[in-house]
């Protein structure tokens, strides 16, 4: 989307727009020559496709396989090549850490070093998350740095997120994980002159941390990677002049929604609870992003049947969702995850826009081969949301 | 393709990718209302279309008819509007002349002038190539220019290529062929101030040459056109981290491949010899570009039946090519050359990508009407190669 044009043309009204993201939705032909969507034969999605207009989104670029971060930014209307979300930022958002504009984030690993300071285990024996939480609490309490706030939070097993908060921090730092054992963790050094002060702070952090944990058997050292500052994303509510909320179980998607300015609603750990949350807050917002994870997990596991089932499980809940009576509902995926590849892929992702003002096409089933003939064509994912909002009459006319 | 993104994401592996370019492949309905491809009913291409994913490429832009140079650059993944290849450069590459970055090239014609200096034959009676070679040898030996090296090489009949090599040469020069007889060849003049020195050099070249050949009956003068410097193209092997080779009979295509850094393999003068060359070097490279000329020649001659035959002649060789077992094979054309137009045209060009990870579409025949429904859609030709390499898993994931 053209941010300046959207800012100029967006206009508030009373419509409700619901964006349902089925993670890793797109698939490929499986054992019987049909894709997961074809095999699922999802009657409610088929109905939405029949009533709505369909097409296929290209998340980042033709032939480009994308991660969930860029995939979602594109569905939120942002060019993922312009607004890059670094690894450290994803790790912090992935644990619901509320990143601010002055934050610098890194992914950390606790590791084990021998008496000679050389790494003997890059993952400290994959210590329990609870152990990592204890160490993080210790470091949070004892490490003192001049001129910046520091936050250290457990992620999972030996992994943690480190955030520095302060003015003038730079992500132009090297990664300190040597990616192999038998060598010492690298020292933090600046890869650009503007990062010298940040590098010194990071070294000071590492030195203090090493003193505090150096006598432990396992997690007695650490490495840092993926230094990143949050991208300065135009905020979705201001841009579109609406109230926006996210319903997602998994932290990374909550974090991505927060990065673009959505309110992140409290919800449970199941899709049921997501639907309840959606219903509960239906009157409070104009735009909802709801995330459904299980299509991707099954695809990543290479489990064709489970991906089919995950589609069907979503499908049966559509009548309940439609009872909320959204003016526009969008069905989309952040990328394809064909079970046949057990991985994300570059293949375009089927999508539907269903609302009062869609010009219908001749697609009757929601799947990869049929949506090729859809009225939306094959188009960049970042252009999906503007079209959804257009169908909610939330974009005024350009020119006279 | 986004060059920076490709450089970042491309990753080596052991796959083999074969790009077959059928020159001028796209056609138009002929005497019986069917296109050349429909009339040819090529069973092996149909099979590839059936097993693969299809679409149509737009070489340069919608409605834009392209020459072979830009058409091929696009198929090699480059934006032909960003990387322009001038005529002089094409002529030099077309005779296998190894152009360097400090070279300025022009196309030359020997012509005949009368005693009054006016042109009586713009093509010097189309003298034999051997005659032109003799004159070029004479000029190469005798012409002396200050501060630049000069190369003059025969092309065909009365045509030659002229190359100046040196610092600060500019292509901003006029063409000296007046395009008609009864007037004198024009003088070389600079069309921009930065080209004054180059213009003076070119005039000095013309003056010396005229002295050396002025007493001849036929080729006693010359004209110069298409001044151009080689575009600085990111080199395909570095960009994609692979070994790339070209198999082409005609010099221009060999030259274009060389410009993007492919190794140009020695081959014979027939398509048979191309296939032999391909097989012989199959283990030595990861990517092959193979050029098939006869579809274009027939189209240019307006010979519908011969173009149909040229397609069929290619088609019967596919089983032999497929025995090499490429991981990904691409069938493409650099532009359309409908026999009905006896010329290049702007019409999008049918294409196929066939490989293990294609999401199949519902196209069963390789022709213009059917590939409109293909899973690749209608897309810029420069996006074809990135998609081919994606199917060979040669692009790593963008973002987390």
Say if residue B371 is in the same domain as residue B383: yes
Interface confidence: ipTM more than 0.95: no
Confidence of residue B100 (pLDDT cuts 50, 70, 90): confident
Beta strands in B259-356 (DSSP E): 263-264, 287-292, 328-332, 349-355
d(CA B247, CA B260): 14
A305 part of contact set with chain B, CB < 8 Å: no
Say if residue B133 is in the same domain as residue B208: yes
Averaged pLDDT for residues B5-13: 96
User: Domain boundary at A204, A228, A252, which?
Assistant: A228
Confidence of residue A400 (pLDDT cuts 50, 70, 90): confident
From the list A63, A67, A87, the residue facing B387 with the nearest CB is A63
List the CATH number of the domain containing B76: 3.40.720.10
What pLDDT is attached to residue B36? 98
Partners of residue A378 on adjacent β-strands? A56
Rounded to the nearest 5°, which phi and psi values hold at A76?
Answer: -80, 0
Say if residue B236 is in the same domain as residue B384: yes
Q: Is residue B154 part of a domain?
A: yes
Q: Is residue B92 part of a domain?
A: no
Q: Is residue A399 part of a domain?
A: no
How many distinct structural domains can be found in chain B?
A: 2
From the list A69, A377, A378, the residue facing B399 with the nearest CB is A69
What pLDDT is attached to residue B125? 92
Confidence of residue A156 (pLDDT cuts 50, 70, 90): confident
Choose, out of A59, A73, A363, A372, the residue to mutate when testing the contact with B (most B CBs < 10 Å): A372
List the single residue in B with minimal CA-CA distance to A68.
B400
- Whether B397 sits inside 8 A of A344 (CB atoms) is yes
A372 part of contact set with chain B, CB < 8 Å: yes
Both tokens of residue A260? 């673009």
Three-state secondary-structure class, residue A383: helix
Interface of A with B in 265-284 (CB under 8 A): none
What pLDDT is attached to residue A222? 97
Q: Is residue B397 part of a domain?
A: no
Say if residue B201 is in the same domain as residue B260: no
Averaged pLDDT for residues B280-304: 97
B364 part of contact set with chain A, CB < 8 Å: no
What pLDDT is attached to residue B389? 98
Strand B349-355 with B328-332, pairing: antiparallel
**Is the pTM above the cut of 0.80?**
yes
Q: Which residues contact B141 (CB under 8 A, 6 or more apart)?
A: none
What pLDDT is attached to residue A196? 96
pLDDT exceeds cutoff 90 at A201: yes
Chain B nearest CA to A13, separation (Å): 35
A346 part of contact set with chain B, CB < 8 Å: yes
pLDDT tens column, A344-383: 999 999 999 999 999 999 999 999 999 999 999 999 999 9
Averaged pLDDT for residues B215-219: 92
Both tokens of residue A132? 């990592």
Chain A nearest CA to B231, separation (Å): 25
B379 part of contact set with chain A, CB < 8 Å: yes
Say if residue A359 is in the same domain as residue A256: yes
Chain B nearest CA to A231, separation (Å): 13
Say if residue B325 is in the same domain as residue B376: yes
Chain A nearest CA to B230, separation (Å): 28
Say if residue B251 is in the same domain as residue B305: yes
pLDDT tens column, B219-246: 999 999 999 999 889 999 999 999 999 9
What pLDDT is attached to residue B198? 97
Q: Is residue A201 part of a domain?
A: yes
A368 part of contact set with chain B, CB < 8 Å: yes
Say if residue B240 is in the same domain as residue B387: yes
Averaged pLDDT for residues B257-261: 92
Question: Taking all residues of chain A, what is their mean pLDDT, rounded to a whole number?
Answer: 96
d(CA B332, CA B354): 12
Say if residue A249 is in the same domain as residue A185: no
d(CA A179, CA A122): 8
Residues of B in contact with A378 (CB under 8 A): 377, 379
Confidence of residue B145 (pLDDT cuts 50, 70, 90): very high
Rounded to the nearest 5°, which phi and psi values hold at B370?
Answer: -70, -40
Q: Is residue B160 part of a domain?
A: yes
Chain A nearest CA to B395, separation (Å): 7
Chain B nearest CA to A10, separation (Å): 30
Domain enclosing residue B173, as ranges: 100-228
pLDDT exceeds cutoff 90 at B250: no
pLDDT tens column, B17-31: 999 999 999 999 999
List the single residue in B with minimal CA-CA distance to A371.
B375
pLDDT tens column, B68-83: 999 999 999 999 999 9
pLDDT exceeds cutoff 80 at B129: yes
Say if residue A189 is in the same domain as residue A271: no
Choose, out of B7, B357, B384, B398, the residue to mutate when testing the contact with A (most A CBs < 10 Å): B398
Q: Is residue A20 part of a domain?
A: yes
Q: Is residue A43 part of a domain?
A: yes
Confidence of residue A100 (pLDDT cuts 50, 70, 90): confident
User: Domain boundary at B228, B246, B261, which?
Assistant: B228
User: Domain boundary at A160, A193, A228, which?
Assistant: A228
DSSP per-residue letters across A328-371: EEEEE-SSB--TTTTS-B-S-EEEEEEETT----S--S-SHHHH
How far is C-alpha A115 from the chain's CA centre? 40
Question: Taking all residues of chain B, what is their mean pLDDT, rounded to a whole number?
Answer: 96
Say if residue A358 is in the same domain as residue A304: yes
What pLDDT is attached to residue B101? 86
Both tokens of residue B4? 């920076």
d(CA B54, CA B152): 44
Q: Which of A229-233, A281-285, B33-37, B380-384 has the lowest mean pLDDT?
A: A229-233
pLDDT exceeds cutoff 90 at B111: yes
Environment class of residue A397 by beta-carbon count within 10 Å: exposed (0-12), middle (13-18) or buried (19+)? Answer: exposed
pLDDT exceeds cutoff 90 at A94: no
Q: What is the CB-side half-sphere exposure of residue B37 using CA atoms within 13 A? A: 28
- Whether A373 sits inside 8 A of B375 (CB atoms) is no
Q: What is the CB-side half-sphere exposure of residue B177 using CA atoms within 13 A? A: 20
pLDDT exceeds cutoff 90 at A246: yes
Interface of A with B in 307-336 (CB under 8 A): 336
B369 part of contact set with chain A, CB < 8 Å: no
List the CATH number of the domain containing A213: 3.30.70
Say if residue A175 is in the same domain as residue A313: no
**Cα angle vertex B247, ends B243, B249, to 5°?**
155
Chain A nearest CA to B335, separation (Å): 20
């Amino acid at each position: 989307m053209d941010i300046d044009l959207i800012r100029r043309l967006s206009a508030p009204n009373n419509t409700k727009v619901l964006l349902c993201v089925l993670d890793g939705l797109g698939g490929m032909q499986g054992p019987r020559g049909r894709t997961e969507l074809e095999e699922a034969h999802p009657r409610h999605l088929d109905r939405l496709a029949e009533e709505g207009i369909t097409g296929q989104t290209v998340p980042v670029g033709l032939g480009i396989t994308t991660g969930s971060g860029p995939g979602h930014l594109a569905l939120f209307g942002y060019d993922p090549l312009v607004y890059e979300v670094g690894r450290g930022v994803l790790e912090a958002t992935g644990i619901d850490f509320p990143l601010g504009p002055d934050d610098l984030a890194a992914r950390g690993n606790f590791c084990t070093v021998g008496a000679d300071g050389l790494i003997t285990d890059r993952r400290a024996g994959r210590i329990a998350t609870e152990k990592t939480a204890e160490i993080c609490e210790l470091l949070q309490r004892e490490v003192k740095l001049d001129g910046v706030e520091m936050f250290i939070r457990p992620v999972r097993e030996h992994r943690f997120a480190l955030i520095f908060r302060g003015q003038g921090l730079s992500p132009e730092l090297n990664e300190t994980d040597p990616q192999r054992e038998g060598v010492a963790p690298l020292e933090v050094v600046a890869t650009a002159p503007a990062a010298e002060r940040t590098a010194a702070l990071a070294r000071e952090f590492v030195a203090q941390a090493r003193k505090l944990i150096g006598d432990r058997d396992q997690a007695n050292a650490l490495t840092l990677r993926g230094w990143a500052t949050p991208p300065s994303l135009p905020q979705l509510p201001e841009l579109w002049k609406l109230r926006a909320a996210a319903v997602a179980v998994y932290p990374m998607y909550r974090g991505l929604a927060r990065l673009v300015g959505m309110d992140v609603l409290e919800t449970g750990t199941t899709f049921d609870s997501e639907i309840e949350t959606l219903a509960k807050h239906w009157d409070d917002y104009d735009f909802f992003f709801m995330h459904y994870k299980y299509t991707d997990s099954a695809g990543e596991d290479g489990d064709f049947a489970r991906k089919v089932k995950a589609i069907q499980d979503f499908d049966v809940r559509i009548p309940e969702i439609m009872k909320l009576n959204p003016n526009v509902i969008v069905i989309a995926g952040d990328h394809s995850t064909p079970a046949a590849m057990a991985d994300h892929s570059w293949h375009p992702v089927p999508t539907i826009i269903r609302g009062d003002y869609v010009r219908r096409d001749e697609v009757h089933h929601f799947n990869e081969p049929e949506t090729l003939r859809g009225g939306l064509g094959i188009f960049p994912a970042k252009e999906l949301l503007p079209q959804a909002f257009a169908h909610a009459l939330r974009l005024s006319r350009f020119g006279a």
